[in-house]
Structure 1
Amino acid sequence: MSLVVYVAAAVLATAALLLVPAGPRLLPRTPLTTSTCVAVALGACCFACSAPATLAAVNELTGVPNFGAPLTYSTISAYSASLLVLLINWRGGPPGEVRRMVSRIIAAYGLLIVAIIVLFALADAPVERLRDLDTYYARTPYMREMISLYLIGHAVCAVIMIVVCLRWSRTVGGLLRTGLRLIMWGLVLDVAGFELTKITAVAARWAGGDLDWLSTSVAPPVVSLGALVCSLGFVLPRLLPAARGHWDSAKDCRELRPLWEEVKAVTTAPKPSPAWWQLPKSRLQMLELAIHDALLQLVPAFDLGLGRRVLACATSRGHAPDEARVISEAAMVVGAAEEARSPAPVPHDAGVERDGRDRYPLPATSGTKELVRLAQALALLPHFHESRATVR
Structure 2
Amino acid sequence: MSLVVYMAALPLVAAAMVLRRSRTTPRTPLTVPTRATAFLGAVCFTCAAPATLAAVNRATGIPNVGAPITYSSISAFSCSLIILLIHWRGGPRERIRRQVRLSIAVYGALVVAICVLFALADARTERLTDLDTYYANTPFMREMIVLYLTGHLASTIVLSVVCLRWARDKVTGLLRIGLRLILAGLLLDVIGFELAKVTAVMARWCGYDLDVLSTTVAPPAASLGALIYSAGFVLPRLASAAAERQSLAGYRALKPLWSALRDLTTTPQAEPRWWQLWWQLPSSRLYLLEANIRDALLQLTAQFDQHVGRAAYAAAVSRGASAEAARRDSEKAMIIDGILRASGQTDGSPDPPANFRITLDLVDLADAVTRVRALAPDQVQA
State whether TM-score is above 0.5.
yes
What is the 5 A alignment of 1:74-223?
Answer: 74-171=72-169, 172-223=171-222
Unaligned runs of 5+ residues in structure 2 are 249-276, 283-382
List per-residue Cα deviations over 1:179-211 (Å, max 9, x = no partner): 111111111111111100000000000000000
Contact 2:78–2:155 (8 Å) recurs in 1: yes
Residue 232 (structure 1) aligns with: 231
Instruction: Tell me the distance in 1 between the aligned counterparts of 2:242 and 2:56.
Output: 38
Contact 1:166–1:181 (8 Å) recurs in 2: no
Contact 1:205–1:211 (8 Å) recurs in 2: yes
List per-residue Cα deviations over 1:231-282 (Å, max 9, x = no partner): 1101111111335789989xxxxxxxxxxxxxxxxxxxxxxxxxxxxxx994
Residue 31 (structure 2) aligns with: 33
Quote how far apart the aligned CAs of 1:11 are: 1.0
List per-residue Cα deviations over 1:280-326 (Å, max 9, x = no partner): 994647xxxxxxxxxxxxxxxxxxxxxxxxxxxxxxxxxxxxxxxxx
Residue 288 (structure 1) aligns with: none
Contact 2:174–2:243 (8 Å) recurs in 1: no
Distance 1:245 1:164, change over 3 A: closer
Distance 1:246 1:173, change over 3 A: closer
Quote how far apart the aligned CAs of 1:161 are: 0.3
Query: Aligned letter for 2:130?
Result: D
Segment of structure 1 superposing worse, 28-37 or 155-164: 28-37
Query: Aligned letter for 1:225?
Result: L
Instruction: Tell me the distance in 2 between the aligned counterparts of 1:125 and 1:22.
Output: 46
SS of match in other structure, 2:137: coil
Query: Aligned letter for 1:10?
Result: L
Unaligned runs of 5+ residues in structure 1 are 250-279, 286-392
Distance 1:282 1:4, change over 3 A: farther
- From 36, 49, 55, the counterpart of 2:47: 49
Which of structures 1 and 2 has the bigger CA Rg? Answer: 1
Instruction: Tell me the distance in 1 between the aligned counterparts of 2:147 and 2:278.
Output: 48
Instruction: Tell me the distance in 2 between the aligned counterparts of 1:76 and 1:243.
Output: 32
2:20 matches 1:20: yes
Higher-RCO chain (CA-CA 8 Å, sequence separation at least 6): 2
Residue 390 (structure 1) aligns with: none
Query: Aligned letter for 1:46?
Result: C
Contact 1:182–1:230 (8 Å) recurs in 2: yes
Instruction: Tell me the distance in 2 between the aligned counterparts of 1:130 and 1:75.
Output: 16
Instruction: Tell me the distance in 1 between the aligned counterparts of 2:8 and 2:108.
Output: 26
Instruction: Tell me the distance in 2 between the aligned counterparts of 1:281 and 1:91.
Output: 36
Instruction: Tell me the distance in 2 between the aligned counterparts of 1:282 and 1:100.
Output: 41
Instruction: Tell me the distance in 2 between the aligned counterparts of 1:244 and 1:182.
Output: 17
Instruction: Tell me the distance in 2 between the aligned counterparts of 1:114 and 1:71.
Output: 11
Distance 1:281 1:156, change over 3 A: farther
Distance 1:246 1:125, change over 3 A: farther
Quote how far apart the aligned CAs of 1:28 are: 3.4
List per-residue Cα deviations over 1:88-131 (Å, max 9, x = no partner): 00001111111101100000000000000000000000000000
Quote how far apart the aligned CAs of 1:32 are: 1.0
Instruction: Tell me the distance in 1 between the aligned counterparts of 2:195 and 2:120.
Output: 27
Instruction: Tell me the distance in 2 between the aligned counterparts of 1:248 and 1:129.
Output: 57
Scaled by the length of structure 2, what TM-score is found? 0.63
- From 54, 58, 61, the counterpart of 2:59: 61
The count of corresponding residues between Structure 1 and Structure 2 is 254
Contact 1:246–1:281 (8 Å) recurs in 2: no
Distance 1:220 1:282, change over 3 A: farther
Residue 10 (structure 1) aligns with: 10
SS of match in other structure, 1:31: coil
